[in-house]
Amino acid sequence: MGNKLYVAATEPRTGKSAIILGLMELLTRNIKKVAFFRPLIDVDHQRGEMDNTINLIKHHYHLCYDYEEMYAYTVTEASQLISLGKNEELHEGILAKYNNLVAKADFVLCEGIELEGATASFDFDVNVDISNNLGAPLLLIAGGRKKSVDELVRGIKVYYESLAERSCDIVGTIVNRADPDSVETIRSRLFRDRLVGKKRVYVIPNNENLGNPSVGEVARLLNAEILYGEENLTRHVRGFTIAAMQLRNLLARIGYGDLVITPGDRSDVILACLAAVQSATMPNISGLMLTGGLVPEEPIQKVIEGFADTIPIIAVHENTYTAAIRVEKIHAAITPDNSRKITQALAVFERHVDMDELSDKIIKTKTTIVTPKMFESQLLQRAKAEKQHIVLPEGENDRVLKAAEMLLRRDVVDLTLLGKEEKIRERISSLSLHLEKATIIDPRNSDKFDDYVDTYHELRKEKGITHDVAKDIMVDLNFYGTMMIYKGDADGMVSGATHTTADTIRPAFQFIKTTPDCSIVSSVLLMCLNDRVLAYGDCAVNPDPTAEQLAEIAISSAQTAALFGINPLVAMLSYSSGRSGKGQQVEKVRKATEIARERAGAAYPGLEIEGPIQYDAAVDASVAKTKMPESKVAGKATVFVFPDLNTGNNTYKAVQRTAGAVVIGPILQGLRKPVNDLSRGCLVPDIVNTVAITAVQAQAQKNS
């Protein structure tokens, strides 16, 4: 039977979904197959409702289980069984559904039910009975919002006593949404009063952003029509203002994050709010909700459409008063499409919960298999362990800014954004991002600009670079960012979302240069397959490397693979295996293998290198047994070195598309300081991963 954990809350609205996200992050980091199960869900499927937490976890963690497999009964179905005295049938049904997941998973995370209103009275008993019947240890979530320390401690005491009477196996307690000023007091009181014994206790302060709905949530729950600003629906609604007054009074009352509610025919209010958003002196509202089933007239629509980027504008049929009441009653949720809120929830959890300690408590056996999600999660943790300073020259790009917010929220790295400060701040405001911790530098206005110009001139004057030319060059964002690394003002650089590969790496070639043991810069791709991570080199930089260069790529790729937790078994690929083939390309690979083995003896003792070898013999044990039975690499290779760029680039793309591999990279190797290139079609997660990789490279270079 797989490992398991049952999570139950002391009351509704404890913010439990954020805790579930944090626990799933912890589990998927260490275990290949994790399932999520809710014994009871409070939805009406006949009305098309679906459980939000199941949807959230299924989509964010790419779980392969069907929605129907991840719950047993609706609350209505369970209540009917209980009212008919069929408690045993209820628990048998839950156990059957649970066992179905156990057969498919290495760990099952279960979430209990908490209801509001008259049916809430049986929640506690039902959750205890279910957890005991499943044989699952229980993690208690206590809600701390708007509670004094005494109230909170008293409530936890009652639950612990009740759980002890029912012989529950308690893992520990997470107090969520506590008063930020009382976090330490709560923790000390729980231990001082000996309420929790040796159980784990974590206290997470209340985070208003997680408790506030997004404009998208408001639109969905009110069945509103989205008129404009669909790309900005993740803005948080911190409050609302009813605009039924004259403009001079309205503008004095709107606050940061407000949703302004006004009749759809109030053109003056609509235009004033749009103007306020563009103003540097007015609060940045979250959006506009137009009431009465009215939409702006055509001339007003033309004005709105003239804005390159606008706040969300949604419309409802209710009158203003009714709409305001409905908005006030909305409770925030973390939905699958709100990546910003998911990132924030994970950041808060990781900041206040000792992930390693809790992992040791709830996971009996950790897997040696590495899934893409596990690798990405472990990568972020590696980067966080020894925080580095990364410079992003494309600070005006929306994808870069969104990635920067994710990285800073999770405290992965320190960041500097380069570009025109006014433009960057305008984009940050327009996207409603929180990048207060980022440093923003416009090279032209930097107090280090002259020093950087002098340094570059000194480094390149023998190449004919004059001081005036150096000044022109240092305005270039990639050159300035690279100089930051050279001067020690940053630890690494990531660029390429809008720049070409040549633009990104040319400055590094000019004055960062290669390490003493490398004559060339090469690249490696990390190919995250379903159950392992492989390294492919070089698929991005060197078109047709010589045998000596190929040997160098092999050593560098093995070192990079090891840096990211891959045990390097190097396959030097060719169209022939062993001594069976001849030809110029085969001989190049054969010579490269000999050189690599010789160099590895000094640079990487014990490194296993095989070549020439075909891909099937390198990766498939049955083929290896036939073609190269004596090889220590054949059938088990983890690092694949391609003979040329044409072969490598086509192979990685074929594997990516046919095997559904997650590709991370290319990672540049051989430079004295880490500089990495993005694809111009990169997505926000690609940028996050590349920055984390750059940080890990910087850590390794500092510690070498």
CATH number for the domain spanning 688: value is 3.40.50.10950
Distance (Å, whole) CA 447 – CA 435: 22
Cis-peptide into 299, omega within 30 deg: no
SS3 of 660, please?
Answer: coil
Distance (Å, whole) CA 550 – CA 552: 5
Give the model's pLDDT for residue 197: 62
Give the model's pLDDT for residue 323: 84
Distance (Å, whole) CA 34 – CA 61: 9
Distance (Å, whole) CA 349 – CA 21: 9
Phi and psi at residue 260, to the nearest 5°: -85, 125
CB environment 448-470: b (16+ within 10 A), e (fewer): bbeebbebbbebbeeeebeeeeb
Q: Residue 344 domain-assigned?
A: no
Sheet strands side by side (includes 662-669): 608-613, 569-573, 639-641, 533-537, 522-528, 662-669
What is the value of pTM for the model shown?
Answer: 0.74
Q: Are 38 and 57 in contact (CB under 8 A)?
A: no
Give the model's pLDDT for residue 228: 86
Q: What's at 481, amino acid-wise?
A: G
Q: Residue 375 domain-assigned?
A: yes
Same domain, 22 and 171: yes
End position of a domain, from candidates 188, 208, 228? 208
| Domain that includes residue 618, residue range | 519-670
Give the model's pLDDT for residue 118: 42
Same domain, 508 and 523: no
Same domain, 494 and 524: no
Bridge partners of residue 138, in order along the sequence: 6, 170
Same domain, 404 and 477: yes
Q: What's the start-to-end Cα distance of the chain, in Å?
A: 44
Residue tagged 């009441």 (tokens): 325
Q: Residue 606 domain-assigned?
A: yes
Q: Residue 224 domain-assigned?
A: yes
Cis-peptide into 283, omega within 30 deg: no
Same domain, 314 and 233: yes
End position of a domain, from candidates 276, 306, 328? 328
Distance (Å, whole) CA 313 – CA 337: 19
Q: Collect all residues with Cβ–Cβ distance below 8 Å to 653 and sequence separation of at least 6.
A: none
Same domain, 83 and 29: yes
Same domain, 472 and 551: no
Q: Are 627 and 614 in contact (CB under 8 A)?
A: yes
Sheet strands side by side (includes 107-111): 71-74, 34-41, 107-111, 3-9, 138-143, 170-178, 200-205
Q: Residue 163 is part of a domain; what is its CATH number?
A: 3.40.50.300
CA triple 77-79-83, angle to 5 deg: 120
End position of a domain, from candidates 176, 208, 240? 208
CA distances from 420 to 400, 424, 456 (A): 14, 6, 22
Name the nearest CA neighbour of 132 among 6, 37, 20: 6
Same domain, 124 and 141: yes
CB environment 599-623: b (16+ within 10 A), e (fewer): bbeeebeebbbbbbbbbebbbbeeb
Distance from the Cα of residue 184 to its chain's centroid: 29
Q: Are 670 and 644 in contact (CB under 8 A)?
A: no
Q: DSSP states of 92-156 as a string? A: HHHHHHHHHHHTT-SEEEEE-----SGGGGGHHHHHHHHHHHHT--EEEEEE-TT--HHHHHHHH
SS3 of 469, please?
Answer: helix
Q: Residue 248 domain-assigned?
A: yes
**For residue range 80-116, what is the model confidence (pLDDT) as tens digits?**
888 888 877 888 888 889 888 988 998 999 998 876 6
Integer Rg of the chain from CA: 29
Q: Residue 577 domain-assigned?
A: yes
Give the model's pLDDT for residue 2: 46
Q: Residue 280 is part of a domain; what is its CATH number?
A: 3.40.1390.20
Same domain, 659 and 686: no
Same domain, 199 and 225: no
Distance (Å, whole) CA 295 – CA 314: 9
SS3 of 481, please?
Answer: helix
Same domain, 443 and 453: yes
Q: Residue 354 domain-assigned?
A: no
Q: Collect all residues with Cβ–Cβ distance below 8 Å to 142 and sequence separation of at least 6.
A: 9, 10, 14, 152, 155, 156, 159, 173, 174, 175, 176
The residue count of the chain comes to 704
Number of domains in the chain: 4
- Residue 4 DSSP class: E
Q: What's at 538, amino acid-wise?
A: D
Which residues in the chain show pLDDT less than 70? Answer: 1-2, 115-123, 193-198, 308, 365-369
Bridge partners of residue 8, in order along the sequence: 140
Same domain, 9 and 143: yes
Name the nearest CA neighbour of 485 among 550, 560, 390, 405: 390
Q: Residue 465 domain-assigned?
A: yes
